[in-house]
């Protein structure tokens, strides 16, 4: 079974086709997106989510939007491009890949003189390159990460870091797809990932489709599972990696890392170079998205708390580099002390 394609060009090339991840696992719905408002809405509501996927989606989406303006005088085209890019950039703050992809797209256009039609073509080619490179980086992350996995690995993961979160076979899930394809035995423990259930809704769906054996657990069960010594390592993704190796990732990652240290379980992070933010010295400076408290109080319309209960709902937390055994990128398995100066994109 081929992994799903989270983001692609629509058949006529005028829109970006997405898998609407809000509907999974109950329904498989594809949608075509071609306006700035739709792009923003898809990113904010997690129809498209996962750090690499939102960067790829933003670049492809803006390229489609700008194709609709290719008849404008160049100066007006550039104004619309800048305004569109800034609106998409502001849709979610934590994932480094979003700003990285938009900066790369804008740099491509700025380096092009001539009319708007030419600039629109450059945007499309740049977006396609971002998509293709992300797919290749997933493959290389998988190869590097395989070198730290034992045979018959029992791996614990959080959130969704697979095909749904990238343009390829994922980041932390990439070595698991590769191991399975090569006939290696493995077992994946999937943390549910409250409040939006990316683990149980998306990772369990993806791995299940691929025939990879898995066990679901509620997030609070992870420390007890680690104590049982049934887990060889923890493998998670990243939304932004600071220059010193501190990692922002899905809320709950920090607790897993603390627990892993206590129980002597290796804790690995896997991410493409586009997630490394060389300009941010350490995790304290990473912007953490705070989401609507209603996500904690209810799920898909069913209440889970008194409607007036106060709720704390950060989407991400920061794991200090001291708790991380290694960071696997498309370039290498990086060990502390971290030095990404030759890697950061
Ligand atoms: O809020 P989400 O679902 O976009 O959060 C995604 C994560 O935290 C992933 O673990 C991270 O982006 C790595 S994705 C390969």
Residue to mutate (ligand 1; options 201, 249, 256; most atoms within 8 A of CB): 249
159 close to ligand 1 (CB < 6 Angstrom) = yes
Distance of CA 11 from the midpoint of ligand 1 (Å) = 28
Distance of CA 239 from the midpoint of ligand 1 (Å) = 6
Q: Which atom of ligand 1 is nearest to the CA of 166?
A: 15
Res 43: pLDDT: 98
Nearest CA to ligand 1 atom 13: 237
Check the CA dihedral 3-4-6-8 and report its sign.
positive
Token readout for 31 is 């949608």
Mind giving me the DSSP string for 49-87? Answer: -SHHHHHHHHHHHHHHHHHTTTTS-HHHHHHHHHHHHHH
56 close to ligand 1 (CB < 6 Angstrom) = no
Nearest CA to ligand 1 atom 15: 161
Distance of CA 132 from the midpoint of ligand 1 (Å) = 20
Q: What is the number of residues in the chain?
A: 345
Residues forming a β-bridge with 187: 154
249 close to ligand 1 (CB < 6 Angstrom) = yes
- Whether 152 is catalytic is no
pLDDT digits (tens, 9 = 90+) for 119-162: 999 999 999 999 999 999 999 999 999 999 999 999 999 999 99
198 close to ligand 1 (CB < 6 Angstrom) = yes
Nearest CA to ligand 1 atom 10: 237
Residues forming a β-bridge with 64: none
161 close to ligand 1 (CB < 6 Angstrom) = yes
3-state secondary structure 19-43: ECCCCCCCCCCEEEECCHHHHHHHH
Asked if residues 31 and 57 have their Cβ atoms less than 8 Å apart, the reply is: no
Read off the pTM.
0.97
pLDDT digits (tens, 9 = 90+) for 202-234: 999 999 999 999 999 999 999 999 999 999 999
The number of angstroms, rounded, from the C-alpha of 154 to the middle of its chain's C-alpha atoms is 22
Asked if residues 165 and 265 have their Cβ atoms less than 8 Å apart, the reply is: no
Taking the C-alpha atoms of residue 317 and residue 158, their distance in angstroms, rounded to an integer, is 13
φ, ψ for residue 298, nearest 5 deg? -155, 155
Residue to mutate (ligand 1; options 161, 166, 192, 195; most atoms within 8 A of CB): 161
Check the CA dihedral 64-69-73-76 and report its sign.
negative
Asked if residues 193 and 158 have their Cβ atoms less than 8 Å apart, the reply is: yes
Tens digit of pLDDT per residue, the chain (345 long)? 899 999 999 999 999 999 999 999 999 999 999 999 999 999 999 999 999 999 999 999 999 999 999 999 999 999 999 999 999 999 999 999 999 999 999 999 999 999 999 999 999 999 999 999 999 999 999 999 999 999 999 999 999 999 999 999 999 999 999 999 999 999 999 999 999 999 999 999 999 999 999 999 999 999 999 999 999 999 999 999 999 999 999 999 999 999 999 999 999 999 999 999 999 999 999 999 999 999 999 999 999 999 999 999 999 999 999 999 999 999 999 999 999 988 866
Report in angstroms the alpha-carbon separations of 59 from 90, 289, 344: 14, 21, 19
Distance of CA 114 from the midpoint of ligand 1 (Å) = 38
**Of the listed 78, 134, 232, 239, which one is catalytic?**
239
Distance of CA 121 from the midpoint of ligand 1 (Å) = 30
């Amino acid at each position: 079974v081929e992994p799903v394609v989270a983001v692609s060009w629509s058949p006529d090339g005028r829109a970006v086709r997405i898998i609407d991840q809000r509907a999974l696992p109950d329904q498989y719905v594809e949608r075509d997106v071609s306006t700035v408002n739709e792009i923003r809405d898809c990113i904010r509501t997690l129809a498209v989510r996962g750090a690499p996927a939102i960067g790829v989606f933003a670049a492809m989406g803006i390229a489609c939007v700008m194709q609709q303006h290719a008849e404008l005088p160049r100066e007006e085209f550039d104004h619309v491009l800048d305004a569109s890019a800034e609106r998409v950039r502001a849709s979610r703050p934590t994932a480094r890949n979003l700003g990285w992809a938009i900066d790369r797209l804008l740099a491509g256009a700025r380096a092009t003189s001539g009319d708007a039609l030419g600039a629109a073509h450059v945007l499309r080619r740049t977006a396609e390159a971002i998509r293709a490179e992300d797919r290749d980086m997933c493959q290389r992350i998988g190869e590097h990460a395989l070198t730290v996995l034992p045979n018959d690995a029992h791996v614990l993961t959080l959130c969704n870091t697979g095909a749904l979160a990238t343009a390829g076979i994922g980041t932390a899930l990439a070595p698991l797809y590769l191991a399975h394809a090569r006939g290696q035995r493995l077992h994946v423990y999937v943390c549910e990932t409250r409040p939006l259930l990316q683990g149980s809704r998306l990772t369990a769906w993806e791995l299940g489709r691929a025939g990879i054996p898995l066990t679901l657990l509620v997030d609070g069960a992870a420390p007890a599972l680690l104590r049982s010594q049934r887990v060889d390592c923890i493998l998670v993704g990243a939304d932004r990696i600071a220059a010193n190796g501190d990692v922002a990732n899905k809320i709950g990652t920090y607790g897993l890392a603390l627990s892993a240290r206590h129980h002597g379980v290796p804790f690995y992070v896997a991410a493409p170079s586009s997630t490394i933010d060389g300009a941010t010295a350490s995790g304290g400076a990473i912007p953490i998205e705070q989401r609507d408290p209603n996500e904690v109080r209810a799920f898909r319309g069913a209440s889970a708390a008194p409607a007036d209960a106060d709720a704390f709902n950060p989407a991400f937390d920061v794991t200090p580099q001291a708790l991380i055994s290694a960071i696997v990128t498309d370039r290498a398995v990086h060990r502390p002390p971290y030095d990404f100066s030759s890697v950061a994109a």
